A and B are shown apart, each in its own frame.
Chain A
Amino acid sequence: MKIPYYPGCTLNTVAKGFDLSARESARTLGFELCELEQWSCCGASFPLTPDNIIGLTSPAKVLTAAAKVDSVVTTLCSVCYNVLKRTAETLSEDRERQKVVAEFIEEEYNPSIEVLHFVEILRDKIGFEKVKESVKRPLGGIKAAAYYGCMLLRPFKTMGIDKPEAPTVMEDLFSALGLEPVDFPKKIECCGAHLAMTREDVVAKLSGDVIESATECGAEIVVTSCPLCQYNLEEAQKRAMEERRDWKTVPIVYFTQLLGYALGQSEEEAGLDKNKWDVRALFKEKGVGLCQG
């Protein structure tokens, strides 16, 4: 099975570990992520004002490129997923706006495309049972907090990756990988997002609260699907360490890094050397290392 794949800007650069671990995991699970031949940035924020057609052109171009090869496209970054899925939805029934968008992108807009997050592919097309059977290196019951944030879930009507206020799709995957999922109150709260540009203090508070909420519930790692959440959660910890002597850092990892490592990838392939706070010490402590079978 081949699935068209949109990496997006950040996975092509700073979040390479997120991208590579997913591609290799897909191969192990019997499918291939086929990167779109040509793609551009999705715009990194869905234009909320409906008259802002310009904001729709960039994601529409990506969707059109994908529709040329298949009826689905997948992506990993929560923000790309949000922007592409909402654009597809907003244009799906709106012939008028499709026409205007087509004029801007200089090709016909094809509305017949479904946007799926990589975790949806794992759940609905591969099945977590099969993932579990493919695990070569169970992850030692490490207590993992799934941090969903905003973009995978909201607005609920459009995104609908899982139950809006109490999603469990990531936790279900964790169980398949041999992790112990930890529920925590702030798992669908915001990290501060692009305020990283203007209000580092606010991001430090919001992201710091997310981490504390997770660790208070026993989490040893926090897991994300968004490079901006990852950045904010890591930066917030740098600041917390300066301000609070008792702050204990927690590794912030992408879910595909855990998937990849559990499926037998090397530390480098899973990008474990690229996180600011190294998760490898924890693996060692829990006796996770050699592959089984």
Chain B
Amino acid sequence: MKIKIENRALHSEELKHLERITGEDPAKCYQCGNCSAGCPLSYIMDYPPSQMIRLLQLGRIDEAKSAESVWLCVSCMQCYARCPKDVSAGTLFEGLRQLTLREGEDYKKIKELDMPFLKGAPQQALVCGFRKFVS
């Protein structure tokens, strides 16, 4: 399989911005896959954490940003706990969410939420969910 890597994409401003706001360096990752093996959401992600980091290493930040995985990561930090290279995929996922939310785009509109959920859920679920999904 041929993979085209563009110099421009590798050094894009948006990628640098992601590294700046997360304090993470995706280049440190050597693709062992431990994070994906430990991640409880891998089974349903389009790109599990190690593949997500690979996308960033290849400069494909647009693909990373639009992956559904971004909104499935629950910040449980199992990936970080198991990473031999001290890379926090969970933090990069948060950074990717922030890139979208800081543009004023919501992942979830409050009015789309289920009434029984809003009434029955513990407050912490609402506060946390809004912080993760709403700009």
Chain A residues with a Cβ under 8 A of chain B:
8-10, 13-15, 41, 43-45, 47-52, 55, 77, 79-80, 150, 154-156, 164, 189-190, 192-199, 202, 206, 227-228, 230-231
Residue among B20, B40, B78, B81 with max Cβ neighbours from chain A (10 Å): B40
Secondary structure at the A interface, as helix, strand, loop or mixed, is: loop
A51 partner, pick from B21, B74, B75, beta carbons under 8 A: B21
* Chain B 65-80 interface residues, beta-carbon cutoff 8 Å to A: 71-72, 74-78, 80
Contacts of B80 in A (CB 8 A): 154-155
**Across the interface, do A227 and B122 meet the contact criterion of CB distance under 8 Å?**
yes
Note all chain A residues with C-beta closer than 8 A to B27.
Answer: none
B135 contacts the other chain (CB 8 A): no
Contact A45 B125 (CB under 8 A): no
Contact B90 A194 (CB under 8 A): no
Chain B 47-91 interface 0/1 with A at a Cβ cutoff of 8 Å (1 = within): 000000000000000000000000110111110110000001011
Which residues from 119 to 135 on chain B have a C-beta closer than 8 Å to any C-beta of chain A?
A: 120-129, 131-133
The answer to whether B132 and A194 touch across the interface, beta carbons within 8 angstroms, is: yes
Q: A150-B78, A194-B132 are in contact. List 18 more A-B contacts (CB 8 A).
A: A13-B122, A41-B127, A43-B131, A44-B127, A45-B132, A47-B94, A50-B22, A50-B23, A51-B20, A150-B76, A155-B81, A156-B81, A193-B75, A193-B76, A196-B117, A196-B129, A197-B108, A228-B125
Which residues of chain B are near A47, meaning CB under 8 Å?
Answer: 94
Interface status of B115 (Cβ within 8 A of chain A):
no
Number of inter-chain CB pairs below 8 Å: 122
Measured CA separation A13–B40 after assembly (Å): 30
Contact of A228 among B20, B44, B117, B124 (CB under 8 A): B124
Interface assignment of B37: CB less than 8 Å from any CB of chain A: no
- The answer on a CB contact under 8 Å between B77 and A77 is no
**CB-nearest residue of chain A relative to B130?**
A197
Q: Is the CB of A154 within 8 A of B108?
A: no
| Selected contact of B75 from candidates A45, A50, A77, A227, CB within 8 Å | A45
Inside 8 A of B77's CB, which chain A residues have their CB?
150, 154-155
Determine whether the beta carbon of B131 is less than 8 Å from that of A45: yes
- Identify which of B80, B127, B132 gathers the most chain A CB atoms within 10 Å of its CB: B127
User: Would you give the shortest CB distance from B35 to chain A, in whole angstroms?
Assistant: 13
Which residue of the partner chain, among B20, B113, B124, B132, contacts A79 with CB atoms under 8 Å? B124
Asked whether B117 lies within 8 Å of A197 as measured between CB atoms, the reply is yes
Q: Check B129–A198 contact: CB distance below 8 A.
A: yes
Q: Known contacts being A193-B74, A196-B121, is A48 close to B22, with CB within 8 Å?
A: yes
Q: Which residues of A contact B20 (CB under 8 A)?
A: 51
Report which residue of B72, B98, B125 has the largest number of chain A beta carbons within 10 angstroms of its beta carbon.
B125
**Cβ-defined contact, B128 with A45, below 8 A:** yes
Interface residues of B in 1-31 (CB under 8 A from A): 20-23
The reply to whether A13 and B21 form a contact with Cβ atoms under 8 Å apart is no
On whether the beta carbons of A41 and B81 are closer than 8 Å, the reply is no
Among residues of B, the one whose C-beta sits closest to the C-beta of A58 is B127
